[in-house]
Structure 1
Amino acid sequence: MNLHWVDLLVIIAYFAVTLTVGLWFTRKSRSTDRYYLGGRNFPGWAVGLSFIGGTISSMTFIGYPADSFKTSWVRLLPNLAFPFVALLAAWVFIPFFRQGKVTSAYQYLHLRFGAPVAAYAACVYMAAQIVRMATITYLLAVLLASLSGLAVPWCIVLAAGLTGLYATIGGFEAVIWTEVLQTVVLILGALVCVVVVLNAVPGGFGEVWSQAMNAGKISFDELNVTTGTLEPLRSGWALSEKTMWMLMLVGASQYIAGQLDQDTVQRWCSAKSVKEARKSMVVLGLGALPVWTTFMFLGTCLWVYYQQHPDAASAAILAGSRKSEDILPHFILTALPVGMAGLVVSAALAAGMSSLGCCVSAASMVWVNDIQRKYLVRGRSDGHYLRSGKIASAAFTLLMMGGAVLFHLADTKTIMDASITMTALFGGGISGAFLFGMFTRAGDHRAVLVGIASTVAFTGYALLMQFKILPRSFDPYYTSILANGVMLTSCALAAKALPAANRDLSHLTIWDRPMENPNDKEPS
């Protein structure tokens, strides 16, 4: 069963409006600063909405309802730490990156630890972005193909090609304003689904809440795959199993790492001032958790709906013979009124495209400013680097599309596992290097290189453990947080063994940062 032609028209209209908004800014991108930072003139609310759009990917749009439909709200637990991370970003990270002429996360590493560390981290980031973009594009294309009847490769070209087009031609202004539009669309799509379900269930919200609470669906219980029942999650601290506090700690660690990625730093530096950049984190901190909760509640609503309107597909998903990620597409095709289905599909597309646009721009900026300008082609005109930036954006778009096609043509699970494995192996602990540099005056490039080597060795051990080649000593879910711990500990020990020479650390640690002016438009 495919979408009605009216729904297809709604989707086409969404693509047309998105492309129009994106290409509107083509004429303004005449310098690298304008192309990558939009003239540093964005209001905080717009940057904040773009953050929300970038945070809510297509995996969230489909995955969260799937999880809460099949199990409970346990996947929401790591997100509960996010408002605290947003406060940390607003009052520590933002003024740190907004001062001292830093516009790139890896430019900071270059200033603090030198070229080898910065180049390594930049290359790892670009590789990870390609993997992430290809994965999101592939999942987005599979969803669009299942609903529209188009072949997956054509859906890859449509979704990724359109996003890459406005990101390449329109620059960061196009990315920010299309993300604002896409954020509104994706939130509207989720709300439409919730309202339709509540209207279809006798008793509405009260009945949904009561039935879900009685079944333990609105809880942080975890599904026991052996018994098929929900069981309470322990609240203690342990590395051998998932517990409530450990999941929140993992969430905090992952979101802190996300605040130190280039796509985040790029948004902060594009705001009008420190004050506006902080406003963006207020919007994100107050907005992201309710949006995540809405998607979890949508899955719970769908569970109640299919308890009262059971069919073969929902029964197969609950029985485990069909993927839980199929539940929302199934609901869209079979239960949403004509026109609304097109809006919700557009919302799912918006969730994916809002993540992709900023990834393309950020990866291109890292290539031009942190690799090409520093090491490969020095001393050229700004126009040369602007052309290089547009070529790099187009190249990352093609790599994104090529990776997604590769996922489609080959053994998808094997390739995804391999790509995630390589990213974890070489990229684990990079955020620990940032934290070591920002919060201590100790160490130089030697200490961080020791930390990188130690972290790569640790993640290699974790992967061998996960593949059962070595005995399991901790839950693999904690690999990322332990990797950052290994990085910080190794850097600290190496810094004591290899003392750094006295050097100017102005603007490079929180202890050597001058007093800030929250209304500064440009980094001083």
Structure 2
Amino acid sequence: MQPIDLVVIAAYLLCSAWLGLRLSGRQRDTKDYFIGDRRLPWWAVCLSVVATETSALTVISIPGVAYLGDVTFLQVAVGYMIGRVVVAFVLLPRYYRGEMTTAYAYLGLRFGRGMQSTAAVTFLFTRLLADGVRLFAAAIPMKIVLDAYGLEMSYFGIIAVLGVVTVLYTFIGGIRAVVWVDVVQMALYVVGGVIALSLIVSSLDVNFLEVAAAEGKTRFVDFTSDPISAPYATVTAVLGGALLSTASHGADQIIVQRLLGCRSLRDAQKAVIVSGAVVFLQFALFLTVGLALYSYFEAATIEQLGLAGPDELFPVFIVEGLPAGLSGLLLAGIMASAMSTLSSSLAALSSSTMADLYERFVSRPLTDAQGLRLGRLFTLGWGLVFIGAAVMFTGTDDPVVELGLSVASLTYGGLLGAFFLGLWVRRARQRDAIIAFGVAVATMSWLFLFQPGLVGFTWYTAIGTSITLALGGLLSLRRERTSGVGAVEGELSAEGEQERA
């Protein structure tokens, strides 16, 4: 590492803040601040969606997945594409028909304020933990760099710097700034990944793909592993990926907020479906980097390399194996992926806090100026909380990407099940939905905390969805069948009818 690398990193941080402020435009009201006044081009939203879900986990952790195992993780991306089709044609039409600004507004109309608030609070808590993992992941390579220079800096200090820069442009520019900066950040880390792969390959005397194939690392499908405990067994990965993607892109405000910023339903559908193909290619790129690193490090184990975990493999190569300047560029790309996810989370958390909680419980109407000011205050507050949450994660023996997906999946099943319950079980009421949702989240939390490894994390969403649908459906049988209880396009539940009144 050379001083030029630190200069590149510092320049990137300054340019990100400037670019976000430059592209944000003037914010007039909360609709403009939170969903860009529905004037965002679909291709920019598509790339922003990819940048948001990719995060630093993909860049630094997925190479470690291939290094330790094989490329069966790519099956999850196949499931992702299937799930996005469900989102495009089942959930998005409901959101656009109701002119909603958050995913949980549908639950408010279908069941009532209690279910909307329950889903929103759960989203806030889970997103805080899941993206705390992502922000921590970005600090891993930065700490390696600073340690190499003898500049010892704690994870907290690194996270604070990244957080402050991201909060700055999100606070002022809202979702429009977030989307456009995401587009630039995605380009940066993808180009960085391609450059790294090219340099690794050029430094090898062997064909890394032949080495990987001889070791069984190019295996794409897995029909032999236990589908219950092995997260990348084919059935598990594809089904789990489909449900995970349906939940994350159809019931998670961090993605739905972007899709609601498109100019039309058709644009939103194109954005979410095309993003699946882009994510597949990204996963393939960074898994290939992992295969190349296997030859680069001569098949050494993590212990033989003296590393704390597989998430340090790619960062160590960036620091030690890249020419001056390129190391800084690639590290800036890793920070870009983390900052894009953080800015997206801040925008989603503040919009959900505003629309699903504050406006539901405070009857006093706000002017456009007051709403915009309050939305920015929520952004600032969540930014400070995020920095604290990221410091909670100080390490993991498994690839951090799996930790992040596991945490997010704890509530995805319950949220997706609640949406399906509202769509498919016409007799279900608010109490049924809340009880079923609570049991699903409690069950998944118990599995995650007290039975780790019993079930692969790719099953979490499927289990949670099944529990919510089954229990909610059984509870709804307590009452006589009533007519006219439907989703947004039909009549509303009794609670939802009261809320609308």
**TM-score normalised according to structure 1 size:** 0.85
Q: 1:418 to 1:489 in 2, by over 3 A?
A: same
Q: Equivalent residues in 2 for 1:290-439 (5 A)?
A: 290-307=281-298, 314-317=300-303, 322-407=308-393, 428-439=413-424
Q: 1:499 to 1:383 in 2, by over 3 A?
A: farther
**Aligned-pair distance for 1:188?**
0.5
Q: 1:499 to 1:401 in 2, by over 3 A?
A: farther
In the alignment, is residue 479 of structure 1 matched against residue 479 of structure 2?
A: no
Secondary structure of residue in 2 paired with 1:436:
helix
For residues 23 and 389 of structure 1, the distance between their equivalents in structure 2, rounded to whole angstroms, comes to 17
Tell me which amino acid in the other structure corresponds to 2:444: T
Q: Deviations over 1:338-366 (max 9, x none)?
A: 11111111111111111111100000000
Contact 1:98 1:268 (C-alpha < 8 Å) held by counterparts? no
**Aligned-pair distance for 1:54?**
0.8
Residue equivalent to 2:20 = 22
Tell me which amino acid in the other structure corresponds to 1:213: A
Secondary structure of residue in 2 paired with 1:24:
helix
Q: 1:162 to 1:465 in 2, by over 3 A?
A: closer
Tell me which amino acid in the other structure corresponds to 1:180: V
**Aligned-pair distance for 1:465?**
5.2
For residues 75 and 199 of structure 2, the distance between their equivalents in structure 1, rounded to whole angstroms, comes to 27
Contact 1:164 1:397 (C-alpha < 8 Å) held by counterparts? yes
Residue equivalent to 2:279 = 288
Contact 1:124 1:427 (C-alpha < 8 Å) held by counterparts? no
Residue equivalent to 2:213 = 213
In the alignment, is residue 489 of structure 1 matched against residue 480 of structure 2?
A: no
Contact 1:73 1:220 (C-alpha < 8 Å) held by counterparts? yes
For residues 407 and 320 of structure 2, the distance between their equivalents in structure 1, rounded to whole angstroms, comes to 40
Tell me which amino acid in the other structure corresponds to 1:323: G
**Aligned-pair distance for 1:189?**
0.8
State the number of aligned residues. Answer: 483
Q: 1:426 to 1:338 in 2, by over 3 A?
A: closer
Q: Equivalent residues in 2 for 1:116-135 (5 A)?
A: 116-135=114-133
Contact 1:8 1:148 (C-alpha < 8 Å) held by counterparts? no
In the alignment, is residue 56 of structure 1 matched against residue 54 of structure 2?
A: yes
Q: 1:264 to 1:476 in 2, by over 3 A?
A: closer
Q: Equivalent residues in 2 for 1:459-478 (5 A)?
A: 459=444, 462-463=447-448, 466=451, 478=459
Q: 1:323 to 1:381 in 2, by over 3 A?
A: same
Residue equivalent to 1:257 = 247
Q: 1:322 to 1:144 in 2, by over 3 A?
A: closer
For residues 478 and 318 of structure 1, the distance between their equivalents in structure 2, rounded to whole angstroms, comes to 33
Pick aligned residue for 1:234 from 224, 243, 261 = 224
Tell me which amino acid in the other structure corresponds to 1:489: A
**Aligned-pair distance for 1:25?**
4.3
Q: 1:318 to 1:256 in 2, by over 3 A?
A: farther
Q: Equivalent residues in 2 for 1:30-45 (5 A)?
A: 30-45=28-43
Contact 1:428 1:484 (C-alpha < 8 Å) held by counterparts? yes
**Aligned-pair distance for 1:59?**
1.1
**Aligned-pair distance for 1:120?**
0.6
Residue equivalent to 1:521 = none
**Aligned-pair distance for 1:303?**
0.8
Tell me which amino acid in the other structure corresponds to 2:234: M
For residues 57 and 69 of structure 1, the distance between their equivalents in structure 2, rounded to whole angstroms, comes to 19
In the alignment, is residue 266 of structure 1 matched against residue 257 of structure 2?
A: yes
Residue equivalent to 1:165 = 168
Secondary structure of residue in 1 paired with 2:427:
coil
For residues 203 and 420 of structure 2, the distance between their equivalents in structure 1, rounded to whole angstroms, comes to 50
User: 97-106 or 130-139, which moves further after superposition?
Assistant: 130-139
**TM-score normalised according to structure 2 size:** 0.88
Secondary structure of residue in 1 paired with 2:477:
helix
**Aligned-pair distance for 1:234?**
1.5
Residue equivalent to 1:146 = 144
Q: 1:430 to 1:197 in 2, by over 3 A?
A: same
In the alignment, is residue 245 of structure 1 matched against residue 244 of structure 2?
A: no
User: 432-441 or 359-368, which moves further after superposition?
Assistant: 432-441
**Aligned-pair distance for 1:172?**
0.7
Q: Deviations over 1:8-60 (max 9, x none)?
A: 12112221221111112455112111100112111111000101101211111
User: 337-346 or 433-442, which moves further after superposition?
Assistant: 433-442
Residue equivalent to 2:435 = 450
Contact 2:170 2:346 (C-alpha < 8 Å) held by counterparts? yes
Q: 1:27 to 1:83 in 2, by over 3 A?
A: closer
**Aligned-pair distance for 1:178?**
0.4
Secondary structure of residue in 1 paired with 2:35:
helix
Secondary structure of residue in 1 paired with 2:104:
helix
Secondary structure of residue in 1 paired with 2:73:
helix
What are the ranges of 5 or more consecutive residues in structure 2 without an aligned counterpart?
A: 493-501
Tell me which amino acid in the other structure corresponds to 1:348: I
Tell me which amino acid in the other structure corresponds to 2:212: A
Contact 1:68 1:300 (C-alpha < 8 Å) held by counterparts? yes
Secondary structure of residue in 1 paired with 2:388:
helix
In the alignment, is residue 156 of structure 1 matched against residue 163 of structure 2?
A: no
For residues 245 and 341 of structure 1, the distance between their equivalents in structure 2, rounded to whole angstroms, comes to 39
Residue equivalent to 1:517 = none
**Aligned-pair distance for 1:406?**
4.3
Secondary structure of residue in 2 paired with 1:155:
helix
Q: Percent identity?
A: 25
Q: Deviations over 1:258-297 (max 9, x none)?
A: 0121122111110111222122123302211011110000
Pick aligned residue for 2:266 from 271, 275, 290 = 275
**Aligned-pair distance for 1:425?**
6.4
Contact 1:83 1:285 (C-alpha < 8 Å) held by counterparts? yes
Tell me which amino acid in the other structure corresponds to 2:158: C
Secondary structure of residue in 1 paired with 2:297:
helix
User: 494-503 or 175-184, which moves further after superposition?
Assistant: 494-503
Contact 1:96 1:510 (C-alpha < 8 Å) held by counterparts? no
For residues 426 and 81 of structure 1, the distance between their equivalents in structure 2, rounded to whole angstroms, comes to 19
Residue equivalent to 2:192 = 189
Secondary structure of residue in 2 paired with 1:497:
coil
Pick aligned residue for 1:198 from 198, 201, 210 = 201
Q: Deviations over 1:56-85 (max 9, x none)?
A: 111111110011112211322222211222
**What do you get for the CA RMSD once the two structures are aligned?**
3.0
In the alignment, is residue 176 of structure 1 matched against residue 179 of structure 2?
A: yes
Q: 1:465 to 1:142 in 2, by over 3 A?
A: closer
Secondary structure of residue in 1 paired with 2:260:
helix
Tell me which amino acid in the other structure corresponds to 1:49: L
Tell me which amino acid in the other structure corresponds to 1:239: I
Contact 1:49 1:283 (C-alpha < 8 Å) held by counterparts? no
Contact 2:141 2:312 (C-alpha < 8 Å) held by counterparts? no
Residue equivalent to 2:82 = 84
